[in-house]
Homo-oligomer: A and B are copies of this chain.
């Protein structure tokens, strides 16, 4: 496929799938390029299986669906989930994927028309969109198995091939109302998939050291942005890093500007190497806070993150703040004048949240023996699936390890 050779897709080779995750799970260096190829391969397997079961799929549709699977994430940026919102307000990577799809389509003389329709959900066969984007799409199936494999987290392992073999278009012949379903015998494989995904969120994607790394990176970029916008002395050093990164930090780009030439070009030039290279330069910055944050990221000297039983009260937060302020002064990172401004770069209260399965929004449909469709949690023989519908929220606080912050009632 010529698409794989495009600069837009090759760029994904330089973006790690798990952002800072490889700094916590040493084997997890895999890239978004690997994942895009994996999603494409699973899409091929799924289409072949559905076709063998009796749902007609034309060669053109097959190709279009492969392209949609390959390109569904092409809009992801450097250190994606960590940075995207830092760089562009109200960003959704799907919107950037769509911008790039349209540009590729122009370059390929409209060959991606159907792929775009499938991506958008406007193609005449809605189940093809479900293969690209739903609670059981090829994207999720691939990243879950891939991330579990490379992190070595056994809880994330999923029998992907078997799951794909239980997919079925219903009714078989297709038609505008046909949708993607799972045959009854696949219900346990789906249950395992949902549980595995839940466990991967809490053990990998929202692992406390991953959150800690995210936090350092956010702080460094915010600090750099402040200098760039203020036009301070330090800005010169900052500009020795990546120009494309500086472009996004300096200008307040919003999601409605994605399709301008400048934004698109700089976005495509930006990958993990820009961020890492820039941070290495910033270690020499005249601002001790920026230099410290950059050094912390490069040398993996992250903050500490502690999960909390409940959201912390004002008194608690003020006590932590007092401790960190004192530490900033002792370390020579802040002066009395700057310490209040510097505080939020080092002390941060936030919360993680994750819902494993939405029973209401595009739920997974199980096809029972009688040929009826039923929602997954209704069909399951246990109350466990229904229990996955709740959003689990975990407050946490991040702070420098050596600051002497004392956490009561921690439960993480």
Contacts and interface: CB of A to CB of B under 8 A. Distances in A.
Q: Which residue among A22, A34, A280, A384 has the maximum number of chain B CB atoms within 10 Å of its CB?
A: A384
Q: Which residue among A30, A196, A382 has the maximum number of chain B CB atoms within 10 Å of its CB?
A: A382
Contacts of A318: none
A202 interface: yes
A410 B368 CA distance: 9
A394 B382 CA distance: 12
Contacts of A33: 26
Contact of A382 (B29, B31, B198, B280): B198
Q: Which residue among A154, A242, A274, A298 has the maximum number of chain B CB atoms within 10 Å of its CB?
A: A154
Nearest to A34: B26
When all copies of this chain in the complex are counted, the total is 4
A13 interface: yes
Interface stretch (A88-96, A215-223, A327-335, A385-393): A385-393
A370 B273 contact: no
A126 interface: no
Interface of A: 5, 7, 10, 13-14, 16, 22-23, 26-27, 29-31, 33-34, 37, 153-155, 157-160, 162, 184, 188-189, 191-192, 195-196, 198-199, 202-203, 240, 242-243, 269, 272-274, 276-277, 280, 298-301, 356, 368-370, 381-388, 390, 392, 394, 409-412
Given A154-B162, A192-B199, 4 more contacts: A26-B34, A195-B195, A382-B387, A383-B387
